[in-house]
Structure 1
Amino acid sequence: MLNKNEFMKYEPIKVPRGKKYGSNYWIPRGNKVGKRTLELYSDLEFEHWLTVETNSDVITYCEQPLEVTYLRNERIHKSIFDMWILNRDYSETFVEVKYERELTSTEPKYDRTKRQIEAQQEWCRKNNVTYEVRTEKTIRKGRHSIENRIAITSAVLNSKKPICTLEVLDCISLDRKKISDIFQGLSHYPEDQINLAIKWLYYEGHVCANIEDQIFGRNLEVYKCEQRAGI
């Protein structure tokens, strides 16, 4: 069984809240990081974390993983990446989370942001790892995305996979099927246990669904996607 700790290269750098200008402070727990508590410094960082935690192609990750330095106005400045991600193919991605407005030249802090991103890009280039700037346009993909991802992360964090999980997967095919139809086919199990099983199956990448635009419920259509080992 995969031990995520074997692949952890980084530990979160503790940043005093007064030095971060994020709009909110979040302290969720992450199943992919051993259920430890994270520190996230804006609503957008929290929503980005949800997309990472619920991405079955991600093995593990670390917030505030690494600090780089850069020169601006003849002074040395420091910048910390928002997240390091280890993907299922063992490739690494470093991420900076920004609101779109911060990337516009009319933004008062644009010069600092531009130089910060350039420094991070250069470090990633030298170390042969992928670098991405992610904004609300890529993070907030649909009206139900965040709500559904909160439900999924809460389910897998606080509940074990139910005993019906394999039977639920067997009931799902490559063709789209509403969750209500699965309830009917497995009526000998409580609906809440079937719902929990489907959330686990989605989380692990066995089942696909349009969780961006459809609320997780009876009318959500699910279908089999690329299989993962270790149900």
Structure 2
Amino acid sequence: MYKPIPVSQADRYRKGNWDVYSPKIKRYIELLGDLNHELWLRVETDSKVESFCERPIQIRENIDRIVVDVTLSMWVKYTDGSEKFLYAQIASSCNPHIAKKLQQNQLVVEEWNKKQQTQCQIITDEELRSNPTHLSNMKLLTSFVANHISPIETDAKIIKKSFSQNPTSLLSIQQSLSNKIPANRVTESICWMIYKGEIRSNWEQCPIGPKLEVWVNAEEENN
């Protein structure tokens, strides 16, 4: 198990930092810069991720006779037992100095990967920001889950019975259960189900709201 590498005051000042609570690992985490925050959103809302650690290790390689250090963004462990390191950085820069540093960092990760069993994947800003709707939903979902207790168990059971293998809108579910469960509690339960991977939804394409569609997760049903 890894422990986060401490953040220096200089890095906090230079890159900016996010202090957020992770429901997945049940502790507060510190993230440097917007890219690492957006990477965390992806990891936190991935139901196939069992655990993670921010800034798990620093790797070092000699690139063109220059020693280059890179602090990896995350170590991730998945529910199937597999592990992976992630490193977030911008894809390119017009600044020659920054562009050279980006290339060096990429070479460090590539060289390190040749020697390791657990690989590191580079994820760029272009990939993290390619879907604004999904990114906005991840921000909303992590905020919701971090600030709300788990839903009422009986609510969840009743709501699940209203699902089928065909997509159903959140508004339709709220209306069909209006005499049993208040609309806000329906939304709470469905958000938690999406977070836990208990149901499927089109949340990558549709904002979380009345038009969001959900349906049965066949994998969960078979477990």
Q: TM-score range by the shorter chain?
A: 0.7 to 0.9
Q: 1:26-175 counterparts in 2 under 5 A?
A: 26-34=18-26, 36-72=27-63, 74-102=65-93, 107-158=96-147, 159-163=149-153, 164-175=155-166
**Residues in 1 aligned to 2:79 and 2:113: alpha-carbon distance in whole angstroms:** 19
Structure 2: gaps of 5 or more residues: none
Take 1:22 and 1:146, find their aligned partners in 2: how far apart are those partners? 24
Partner of 2:56, secondary structure, is coil
Change (3 A) 1:141 1:88: farther
**Which structure shows the higher strand fraction?**
2
Question: How far apart, in 2, do the equivalents of 1:112 and 1:147 lie?
Answer: 30
SS of residue in 1 equivalent to 2:121: strand
Q: CA deviation at 1:75?
A: 4.2
Q: TM-score, normalised by structure 1?
A: 0.85
Compute the RMSD of aligned alpha carbons: 2.2
Q: Tell me whether 1:209 sits opposite 2:198 in the alignment.
A: no
| CA distance in 2: counterparts of 1:111 and 1:121, whole angstroms | 15
Residue range with higher mean Cα deviation, 10-19 or 189-198: 10-19
Q: Which runs of 5+ in 1 are unaligned?
A: 1-8
Partner of 1:198: 190
Match of 1:220 among 196, 205, 212: 212
> 2:24·2:44 contact (CA, 8 Å) conserved in 1?
yes
What do the CA deviations read for 1:19-78 (whole angstroms, capped 9, x no partner)?
3686532111111112x1111111121111111100011111111001111224534332
- Rounded Cα–Cα distance in structure 2 between residues aligned with 1:50 and 1:184: 31
**Runs of 4+ residues over 6 Å off in structure 1:** none
Three-state SS of the structure 2 residue aligned to 1:38 is strand
